[in-house]
Chain A
Amino acid sequence: MATAVTKIKFREPQIEMSHGAGGKASRRLVEGLFAPLLFGSSTGPLGDAAHIQINGTKIAMTTDSFVVKPLRFPGGSIGELAINGTVNDLAVSGARAEAIVVTFVLEAGLPTEILEAEVRAMADAAERAGVKIAGGDTKVVEHGKADGMYVTTTGIGRLLSGVEISPQSVRPGDKVLLSGPIGDHGITILLARGDLDLEADLRSDTRSVFPLVQALVRECGASVRWMRDPTRGGVATSLNELARDCGLGIVLFEEKIPVRDSVRGACELLGLDPLHIANEGQFLAVISSEHAESALRALRATPGGEEAVLIGEVREQPDSAVLVTTLYGGSRLVDMLVGDPLPRIC
């Protein structure tokens, strides 16, 4: 029970942008302030979605807010992100999204046609994802706030049978699968902001990954140990969270990690690591080694999963860390994102 007496471990005097970036700072905020006050003593590892028992039925529930700037970008818009993001959070927790409710915080002065475009985008995305939009709420704030609009979606879903996902079930020897190329979304947004004067033929990868997850679960059932959609903070942050939660090491094979040329070019130009860049249409899965090959085949046979690839494996060492290795025998640790990825010149 959270009372004035419950102590928080979060020591920082004010909230910074880094607390929302999905990396270490976000984790500090969640674990240090929200968890002690809201989740009480029953906190295990924090997943993408909560699994709740109601009268013997297990349902999954998740929520997410979308504060992206600009609202529209190549490949999508805030509306699609809002639907796909919540569908994906449920999917990687092993659930099929059934219904979503939406909250809009709108900035006074937002042209109606922009709002209409987003709502249409959401309706389309929901239809493609096979999820019902069950209701919502709207608030309007003064001009100058909300960057046009902020959207929050909350989704509930039914757990797929045969799947029991938990970092604790991960074992040394398990394989790490990635559904496709990384970095598309984050770099698209960075370029769309226009501050860096870079142009590329890139699109956000926003889509529902549920069909792929479903194919995986059908093929492998309980051999699927863990899944995550690497959004803010990228693959590095998601895998570091897993490594921390299970205490094992994750070793990645650098040459196997798929990155499109233009994402690579932008990252080289700006000094960014694709492993830290957000994705909105990919997911990671840890599969027991006996089922890894058939899992890969199942994904590749599913539309949208053709580029799925095995990128690494779980080992005892380095414990609680992620190591990237190269073909020539070099290696480096890759940590969680600290704040937002910042372009560098040095």
Chain B
Amino acid sequence: MKFVDEFRAPELIAKAGEEIRKLADPDRHYRIMEVCGGHTHAIYRFGLKDLLPANVELIHGPGCPVCVLPMGRIDDGLSLAAQPDFIFAAFGDMMRVPGTHGSPLEYKARGMDVRIVYSPADALKLARNNPEKHVMFFAIGFETTAPSTALTLVRAKTEGLQNFSVFCNHVTIIPAIRAILDSPDMRLDGFVGPGHVSTVIGCRPYDWIAKDEGKPVVVSGFEPLDILQSIVMLLRQLRNGEAKVENQYKRVVPWEGNRAALRAMAEVFELRPYFEWRGLGFISQSALKIRQSYGTWDAEQRFTVPGIRVTDPKAAQCGEVLKGVLKPAQCKLFGRECTPEQPVGALMVSSEGSCAAYYNYEHRKPITIANAATR
């Protein structure tokens, strides 16, 4: 696969690992946060932690749009769709996320018409093909995904398609990073920046992290070589006492972002005054809602949303794990009451949730590289 295989070349990965070991000052302990859940998933999937020295620690950030959604919003979405002749459409990622009375797949087993879609455009197509039903698309995602939802709404409005609405749970990444940096428990040295969000917002939005907080940011791709090269670049900055924003993912990320995507978002969305994030509490200006001009296609304006607020079970430490304060295995429920088959929180269900990633790929791994990977 072009633009994929080259960035998985074993010899180059081994080289990059060596470079990291050379650059890492043995007297320092580096704490680097990868913000995006996709990076968390890639790190585990490719076993990249095996290549890092013990003093380079990767902390998982809150960039998993499924994980940060409070359970109440899932309940809201499911109760909206419980009307007759409704189709609940969502990405596969949402299907096993537990609401108070079950996950979308469990609701499907009980008779709700639940469909998995790969694209918001597919949800729109469902509406076109099922004129007697109403299709509600449960939209999630950061700025990577929001433009596609926006464009889909533009198309729905242009077509005048009435039997389609979106329940919008798009969130934005910068406020989440701010909340992490404002957290007193968090000590971080630098950030691996979210590569695909940056194809939309560009690299400028991270300037304040380098200038005001003094932490380097390297916007990174998702292949093993991308992530390792980004760590090399971060370590170089730290060695030189620098704090800049760099773009490692140049082949895809334009420094200025994608203007057409930003225009589509501005046309359709506005910022909510505040939004509740699982684990991070209420954050102002951190989530998107659909403008009144698109009110007909906004499930929240068209129907009555219960507005259910559900607190996580007290014992579940989803919030601390999301902020990177706790490692998944340190949560009291990890591996016991909370497993991928019987998840208590979304971090155990979402494929990019740190708990699921850790549980599935890592926690019973043999500790030494020699043991694990000898051929």
* A touching B, CB within 8 angstroms: yes
Q: Report which A residues bind B (CB closer than 8 A).
A: 14-18, 24-25, 28, 195-198, 253, 255, 261, 264-265, 268, 270-271, 317-318, 321, 323, 325-335, 338-339, 342-346
Determine the distance from Cα of A318 to Cα of B366 in the docked complex, in whole angstroms. 6
Q: Could you write out 20 A-B pairs with CB less than 8 Å apart?
A: A14-B109, A17-B109, A253-B375, A318-B365, A321-B364, A323-B366, A326-B47, A327-B375, A328-B10, A328-B13, A328-B51, A331-B47, A332-B44, A333-B365, A334-B360, A335-B360, A342-B92, A345-B118, A345-B145, A346-B350
Question: In residues 339-356 of chain B, which contact A (Cβ within 8 Å)?
Answer: 340-341, 350-352
Which residues on A sit within 8 Å (CB–CB) of B224?
A: 328, 330
Which residues on B sit within 8 Å (CB–CB) of A264?
A: 1
B362 within 8 A of A: yes
Which residues on A sit within 8 Å (CB–CB) of B117?
A: 195
Given A332-B45, A344-B351, A325 contacting B93 (CB threshold 8 A): no
Determine the distance from Cα of A137 to Cα of B26 in the docked complex, in whole angstroms. 73
Q: Is the CB of B109 within 8 A of A345?
A: no
- Set B47, B65, B106: member contacting A332, Cβ < 8 A: B47
Q: Is the CB of A331 within 8 A of B372?
A: yes
Determine the distance from Cα of A196 to Cα of B4 in the docked complex, in whole angstroms. 22
- Set B1, B46, B371: member contacting A326, Cβ < 8 A: B46
Count class of interface residues, chain B: 35 or more
Q: Is the CB of B50 within 8 A of A329?
A: yes
Determine the distance from Cα of A255 to Cα of B64 in the docked complex, in whole angstroms. 29
Interface of A is mostly: loop
B66 within 8 A of A: yes
Determine the distance from Cα of A25 to Cα of B105 in the docked complex, in whole angstroms. 14
B257 within 8 A of A: no
Which residues on A sit within 8 Å (CB–CB) of B66?
A: 346
Which residues on A sit within 8 Å (CB–CB) of B315?
A: none
B96 within 8 A of A: yes
- Set A25, A323, A328, A345: member contacting B365, Cβ < 8 A: A323
Q: Is the CB of B116 within 8 A of A331?
A: no
Q: Is the CB of B373 within 8 A of A343?
A: no
Q: Please, what's the 1-or-0 string for B106-146, where 1 marks a CB less than 8 Å from any CB in chain A? A: 10111000011111001000000000000000000100010
Q: Is the CB of A346 within 8 A of B10?
A: no
Which residues on A sit within 8 Å (CB–CB) of B190?
A: none
Q: Is the CB of A346 within 8 A of B37?
A: yes
Q: Please, what's the 1-or-0 string for B16-58, where 1 marks a CB less than 8 Å from any CB in chain A? A: 0100000000000000000001100100111110110000000
List the 5 closest A-B pairs by CB distance, nearest first.
Answer: A330-B47, A342-B92, A327-B10, A328-B13, A332-B361
Q: Is the CB of B93 within 8 A of A344?
A: yes
Q: Closest B residue to A324 by CB, please name it.
A: B47
Q: Is the CB of A328 within 8 A of B17?
A: yes
Determine the distance from Cα of A253 to Cα of B109 in the docked complex, in whole angstroms. 38
Which residues on B sit within 8 Å (CB–CB) of A330?
A: 13, 46-48, 50-51, 224, 373
B91 within 8 A of A: yes
- Set B17, B118, B350: member contacting A197, Cβ < 8 A: B118
Determine the distance from Cα of A209 to Cα of B116 in the docked complex, in whole angstroms. 34
Given A329-B50, A345-B91, A345-B141, A268 contacting B96 (CB threshold 8 A): no
Q: A318-B365, A331-B373, A332-B47 are in contact. List 5 more A-B contacts (CB 8 A).
A: A327-B10, A328-B224, A329-B14, A333-B361, A342-B116
Which residues on A sit within 8 Å (CB–CB) of B44?
A: 332
**How many inter-chain residue pairs (CB < 8 Å) link A and B?**
137
Question: In residues 55-69 of chain B, which contact A (Cβ within 8 Å)?
Answer: 64-66
Which residues on A sit within 8 Å (CB–CB) of B179?
A: none
Which residues on A sit within 8 Å (CB–CB) of B41?
A: 346
Which residues on A sit within 8 Å (CB–CB) of B93?
A: 342, 344-346
Min CB distance A218 to B, Å, is 30
- Set A17, A265, A271, A318: member contacting B1, Cβ < 8 A: A265
Given A318-B366, A331-B372, A342-B92, A17 contacting B105 (CB threshold 8 A): yes
Which residues on A sit within 8 Å (CB–CB) of B361?
A: 332-334
Determine the distance from Cα of A198 to Cα of B122 in the docked complex, in whole angstroms. 12
Which residues on A sit within 8 Å (CB–CB) of B375?
A: 253, 325, 327
Q: Closest B residue to A345 by CB, please name it.
A: B91
Q: Closest B residue to A12 by CB, please name it.
A: B342
B232 within 8 A of A: no
Which residues on A sit within 8 Å (CB–CB) of B96?
A: 338-339, 342
B174 within 8 A of A: no
B369 within 8 A of A: yes
Q: Is the CB of B10 within 8 A of A326?
A: yes
Which residues on A sit within 8 Å (CB–CB) of B365?
A: 318, 323, 331-333
Min CB distance A210 to B, Å, is 33
Determine the distance from Cα of A323 to Cα of B41 in the docked complex, in whole angstroms. 16
Question: In residues 224-243 of chain B, which contact A (Cβ within 8 Å)?
Answer: 224
Q: Is the CB of A346 within 8 A of B352?
A: yes
Given A16-B105, A197-B118, A329-B51, A268 contacting B4 (CB threshold 8 A): yes
- Set B1, B110, B116, B371: member contacting A268, Cβ < 8 A: B1
Which residues on B sit within 8 Å (CB–CB) of A325?
A: 47, 372-373, 375
B95 within 8 A of A: yes
Which residues on A sit within 8 Å (CB–CB) of B116?
A: 195, 342-343
Determine the distance from Cα of A119 to Cα of B66 in the docked complex, in whole angstroms. 46
Which residues on B sit within 8 Å (CB–CB) of A344?
A: 91-93, 351
Determine the distance from Cα of A335 to Cα of B351 in the docked complex, in whole angstroms. 13
Min CB distance A94 to B, Å, is 31
Min CB distance B302 to A, Å, is 25
Which residues on B sit within 8 Å (CB–CB) of A270?
A: 92, 118
Which residues on A sit within 8 Å (CB–CB) of B145?
A: 345
Q: Closest B residue to A313 by CB, please name it.
A: B375
Q: Closest A residue to B36 by CB, please name it.
A: A346
Determine the distance from Cα of A28 to Cα of B340 in the docked complex, in whole angstroms. 14
Q: Is the CB of A271 within 8 A of B351?
A: yes
Determine the distance from Cα of A15 to Cα of B106 in the docked complex, in whole angstroms. 10
Determine the distance from Cα of A6 to Cα of B17 in the docked complex, in whole angstroms. 56
Min CB distance B93 to A, Å, is 5
Min CB distance A64 to B, Å, is 23
Determine the distance from Cα of A14 to Cα of B106 in the docked complex, in whole angstroms. 9
Q: Is the CB of B341 within 8 A of A318?
A: no
Given A268-B1, A332-B44, A338-B340, A346 contacting B38 (CB threshold 8 A): yes
Determine the distance from Cα of A261 to Cα of B46 in the docked complex, in whole angstroms. 19
Determine the distance from Cα of A318 to Cα of B4 in the docked complex, in whole angstroms. 30
Determine the distance from Cα of A265 to Cα of B45 in the docked complex, in whole angstroms. 17
